[in-house]
Amino acid sequence: MGWIALALGLILLGLLLYWQLVIAEGVYLGPHIVTLLYNWSARAYERIKQFDAGAEQWFLGLPLARALELIPAPLVLDVATGTGRLPRVLLHQPSFDGRIIGLDLSRRMLQEAVRRTAQFADRLTFLWQDARALPFDDDTFDAVTCLEALEFTPDPRAVLAELVRVLRPGGVLVVTNRVGPDAKFLPRHAFPRDEFERLLREFPLEDAKVQTWQVDYDLAWAVKAGEPQGGGIRPLAAILRCPTCGGQMNREAQAFRCIGCGRVYPIAEDGVIEIAKETR
Ligand SMILES: C[S@@+](CC[C@H](N)C(=O)[O-])C[C@H]1O[C@@H](n2cnc3c(N)ncnc32)[C@H](O)[C@@H]1O
């Protein structure tokens, strides 16, 4: 009897760990665990994902480049950029002549991103920071993207609000929502399609379309409501804001310094701006 109870207990524990660490990737245990898991798996990430270059261009690169083609030198923010998938796809599009900022909370994923995007280094900046506090002014970017990541953030609604805040009116939002067999094991982090459409309607967005994309993800496109304004490439110091006090930043040799509170955010040797080093 005792052995049976022990075996059942171990099976339950195994299932619980599988749910929390493999399916939910640590999201119910907090951002430190999510980040730890991505730091561990960063080198293997692209081998596991096996992105299909043609499909990536067809579903992401081409439509996004088209959506931006009337904007001279567009500025794009890719939140939870991981190993730099979206930057690579977009920078390979000949019609895209803009710049991209990629942000992620896993430093190791960013290390991989830097390595895998080296050929585009002069058109890319990477930031180590949490998506819940995007260190930018309101209404800044011509496009904001966040792929396969909302469900791994502690509060997808709050992150969506941040994505929309930094998008300029008339700018394009591209986000994914987790669907497929595992979505039911991600309560409050993955949404049935109609609920996700309703969620998008809570924000000042127009023309929201949610389309089937992959087995595990729907892809949503929307435009921020309001009179189109702003946008285009600007120096980082002009758009970066201190996530602690909201102050403007001054560029120094190897750091950004907040004019308001004096906090210093280092620029690492690989070029990544380490905001999270100060704010964690
Ligand atoms: C499945 S990967 C997706 C990466 C990339 N967007 C792609 O499509 O390949 C999820 C990414 O979200 C990042 N992430 C998770 N929580 C985050 C947070 N709170 N802030 C910023 N990035 C986060 C992880 O570090 C990881 O790189």
Coil, helix or strand at residue 49: helix
What SS3 class is residue 247? Answer: coil
For residue 258, list its beta bridge partners.
249
- What's the 193 CA to ligand 1 centre distance in angstroms? 21
Say if residue 255's pLDDT is above 70.
yes
pLDDT at 28: 95
CA atoms within 13 A on the CB side of 167: 29
Question: Stretch 11-16: mean pLDDT, rounded?
Answer: 93
Query: What is the tens place of the pLDDT at every residue in 122-165?
Result: 999 999 999 999 999 999 999 999 999 999 999 999 999 999 99
pLDDT, position 134: 98
Separation of CA 196 and ligand 1 centre (Å): 19
82 lines ligand 1 (CB under 6 A): yes
Residue 277: which pLDDT band, with cuts at 50, 70 and 90?
confident
| pLDDT for position 133 | 96
Ligand 1 lined by 152 (C-beta under 6 Å):
yes
Percent of the chain with pLDDT over 70: 99
42 Cα nearest atom in ligand 1: 27
Q: What is the pLDDT of residue 182?
A: 95
**pLDDT at residue number 122:** 97
User: For the chain, where are the E strands, in sequence order?
Assistant: 75-79, 99-104, 124-128, 141-146, 167-178, 205-212, 217-224, 249-252, 255-258, 264-266
If pLDDT is split at 50, 70 and 90, which confidence band does 229 have?
Answer: confident
Of 38, 117, 159, best ligand 1 pocket probe by most atoms within 8 Å of the beta carbon = 38
DSSP for 81-141, please give it. Answer: -TTTHHHHHHHTSTT---EEEEEES-HHHHHHHHHHTGGGGGGEEEEE--TTS--B-SS-E
111 close to ligand 1 (CB < 6 Angstrom): no
Token pair 């394009």 in the structure block, residue: 172
pLDDT tens-digit readout, 75-133: 999 999 999 999 999 999 999 999 999 999 999 999 999 999 999 999 999 999 999 99
Q: What is the pLDDT of residues 20-71, one digit of tens each?
A: 898 999 999 999 999 999 999 999 999 999 999 999 999 999 999 999 999 9
Amino acid at 183: A
| Nearest alpha carbon to residue 242 among 149, 142, 122, 136 | 136
Burial of 59 (0-12, 13-18, 19+ CB in 10 A): middle
Beta strands at 217-224 and 167-178: parallel, antiparallel or unpaired: antiparallel
* Residue owning the nearest CA to atom 27 of ligand 1: 82
Asked if pLDDT for residue 231 goes beyond 90, the answer is no
171 lines ligand 1 (CB under 6 A): no
Task: Write down the pTM of the prediction.
Answer: 0.96
First-last CA distance in the chain: 48
pLDDT digits (tens, 9 = 90+) for 197-215: 999 999 999 999 999 999 9
pLDDT above 80 for 279: no
pLDDT given at position 147: 98
- Label residue 280 by pLDDT band (50, 70, 90): low
Pocket test for ligand 1, best of 152, 162, 273 (most atoms within 8 A of CB): 152
Mean pLDDT, to the nearest integer, of 1-23? 91
- Cβ atoms of 263 and 276 within 8 Å: the answer is no
Q: Which atom of ligand 1 is nearest to the CA of 131?
A: 20
Q: CA-to-CA distance for 127 and 181, rounded, in angstroms?
A: 33
